[in-house]
Chains A and B, each alone.
Chain A
Amino acid sequence: MGGVLAALEPVQIASILVKAGMYVSVLLAAGSVLNLWLLTELDAAASRRLRRLAAWSAIVGIVFSALNIPLRAAFFYGGFAGVFDPMMLQIALFSPFGLSIEADILGLLAIATIVLNRSWTRPVAVLGVVLVAISFALRGHATGDPRLALSTLFVIHILAASFWIGGFYPLYDMAGRGNEAAARTVKRFGQAALVMVGLLVTAGVAILVILAGNPVAALTQPWGQFLMLKLAVVALLLGLAGLNKLRLTPALEKTGDGNPLQSSIRWEAVAFVLILIVTATFTSTVAPEHVG
């Protein structure tokens, strides 16, 4: 793993940073829409702020997503001069990766409409979320065999991850109020999170088995070592999620004090961003080899 990181070229480092920015902003945009739809107890102010967050994340996501194309051209060229090379740009744009980025940007544009808060914007934004999730299934290992199964699993995985990251801000916002609506909102998210965790488990384990064959043997590869690093941060995140559900949510209901929960959500957000940075690094540098 250390060897892989030491050998990174400037173009690859730029690609990793852009990809990490894209993951955070795109998932946040999609997840904010999912939570707007699910958390029915949000008051008008919280709902407005969440719509703005969705729209801004979508705009930032469009910028990061679009930057992937010239960076991919630079990789093909072997240096940053490739950013201006028409042939390399054309190859990047018309590759499966390019198609995926185009679908992603279209989805993000649809999500950004939610800031208008008209009757038609919610269904359009939800369609945008679906398009964004599908865009992840149009590239990389999701396009391998069995394609339908892998694509479906990745879409489920992305939606569940979006839901999670998209919940941080509205929960933080509502926890600060400490009223009954806040307690109900946090409780509702916790119930939905259990379903989402179930989906993450089912989809994730299936993807791991399909891609790597024997998950334990995969841990001996650099890919598996990156995965282990990521799992260490995931363990921290899950510990915080468990603490929120089992201790801090009941405490909010009982005392109306949302500060401990807000503090825990802040750490959860940090852990989630770390996970996405590690993911951006290892999906840009190493690939799983099928074992077993």
Chain B
Amino acid sequence: MKLRTILTSAALSVGLTLSAGATLAHGKGMMTMPGNGQTVGADTKVMHLMFKDPMQITTVTMKAPDGKSYKINGPAANEAVKTWEGKLPELAKGNYKVDWRGMSPDGHPMSGSFAFKVAN
């Protein structure tokens, strides 16, 4: 009986074995400009990703309504920033989707995405 109790309890703990492995976290608690679902004018020139802690943003890509993907350039990927600013290409009317990748200060790989709309 004692052994069974010990082994049953172990199930709970073994469930955590190795869960210290790097976990892909998603960008919770961050803000973007344009915001997710926001409609902006075609004259919008920059986008911002804002975080609570300094983040290394490694890649930001934007899918335009015509299906083309643009790499958005901003601060160097090895530079940790709380606010990341990227220069947008010329925007046409339609729906855009942005995907970003990066690393948090504790080394977690991070990713996130948001969408916005451009109206004339």
Residue ranges of A at the interface with B (Cβ–Cβ < 8 Å): 12, 19, 23, 72, 75-78, 87-88, 90-91, 95-97, 136-137, 139-144, 150, 154, 157-158, 161, 194, 197-198, 200-205, 207-208, 211, 215, 227, 230-231, 234-235, 237-238, 241-242, 245-246, 275-276, 279-280, 282-288
**Closest partner residue, chain B, to A158 (CB atom):** B18
Q: Is the CB of A141 within 8 A of B20?
A: yes
Of the listed stretches B30-38, B39-47, B55-63, B85-93, name the one at the interface; the rest are far from the partner chain. Answer: B55-63
Shortest distance from the beta carbon of A16 to any chain B beta carbon, whole Å: 10
Digitize B1-30: 1 where CB-to-A-CB distance is under 8 Å, 0 elsewhere: 001101111111111111111111100000
Residue ranges of B at the interface with A (Cβ–Cβ < 8 Å): 3-4, 6-25, 56, 58-59, 61, 76-78, 99, 101-103, 106-109, 111
**Closest partner residue, chain B, to A198 (CB atom):** B6
Q: Is the CB of A283 within 8 A of B9?
A: no
A96, A150, A197, A275: the one within 8 Å of B10 (CB) = A197
Q: Is the CB of B14 within 8 A of A204?
A: yes
**Closest partner residue, chain B, to A4 (CB atom):** B24
A87, A203, A208, A276: the one within 8 Å of B77 (CB) = A87
Shortest distance from the beta carbon of A190 to any chain B beta carbon, whole Å: 10
Q: Which residues of A contact B13 (CB under 8 A)?
A: 157, 200-205, 207-208
